Amino acid sequence: MTLQAEPARPHDVNDALDLLRRLDLPETDVAERWGHYFVVHEDDGRVVGVAGLEVHGDDGLLRSVAVNVDYRRQGLGASLVEAALARAARLELRSVYLLTTDARDYFSRQGFTESPREKAPAAIRESWEYTTGCPSTAVLMRREVTRR
Ligand SMILES: CC(C)(COP(=O)(O)OP(=O)(O)OC[C@H]1O[C@@H](n2cnc3c(N)ncnc32)[C@H](O)[C@@H]1OP(=O)(O)O)[C@@H](O)C(=O)NCCC(=O)NCCS
């Protein structure tokens, strides 16, 4: 069966946290905001990919995009980003933002463009990821949400 992103279920959270931990990505707020997360399951049920959409005011924040090293370069990351963007469209959000230190080129390929940090909406600027989770050197990127 082709692996692809699907809405996360409550019991996927621990597996997803394990994956984030192994890749040195922060776990803060992930379980608390699990409602708009997506995962990729291996056939045996293991979580091999994760991505989350946090809603902040009228906009979304994409975070925790991570794929198990053994499952990379087969489009799973792209499928997770696409699922989060589709959810953002369903929620009628305006834009989806993200902060990244070393995956700027990856997200450019997913249609995100760099945006001045100080121009982020207030609700995004108040998020944990913005205030604490990402270093001040992280680049802010934005993609407008299009109706589907
Ligand atoms: C970024 C990540 C999610 C991509 O997952 P993936 O399933 O391999 O992604 P896709 O299959 O959709 O795309 C793979 C392509 O992206 C490229 N790519 C992967 N990471 C990249 C990065 N940091 N910068 C630029 N390009 C990157 C790969 O080289 C590959 O290119 P190719 O198609 O020319 O071979 C994965 O590499 C990962 O988990 N990285 C560690 C966590 C991380 O940095 N997350 C993003 C910030 S939150």
Report pLDDT for 146: 87
pTM score: 0.96
Report pLDDT for 48: 98
CA angle 142, 35, 74 (to 5 degrees): 60
- Report residue 80 CA to chain centroid gap: 8
Task: Please list every protein residue whose CB sits less than 6 Å from any atom of ligand 1.
Answer: 23, 25, 65-67, 72-78, 100, 102-103, 105-106
Report pLDDT for 1: 65
CA of 19 to the centre of ligand 1 (A): 15
Q: Which of 3, 54, 62, 72 to mutate to test the pocket of ligand 1 (most atoms within 8 A of CB)?
A: 72
Nearest to 49 by CA among 93, 87, 2: 2
The whole-number mean pLDDT for each consecutive block of 10 residues of the chain, a chain of 148 residues, reads 93 97 95 97 96 98 98 98 98 98 96 95 95 90 90
Q: Which of 74, 106, 110, 128 to mutate to test the pocket of ligand 1 (most atoms within 8 A of CB)?
A: 106
5-144 maps to CATH 3.30.1330.60:
no
Token code pair at residue 23: 């890749």
Report pLDDT for 107: 98
Domains of the chain, by residue range, sit at: 5-144
Residue pair 19/48 in contact by the 8 Å Cβ criterion: yes
Report pLDDT for 139: 96
Per residue in 97-130, is it b (16+ CB within 10 Å) or e — as a string? bbbbeebeeebeebebeebebeebeeebeebbbb
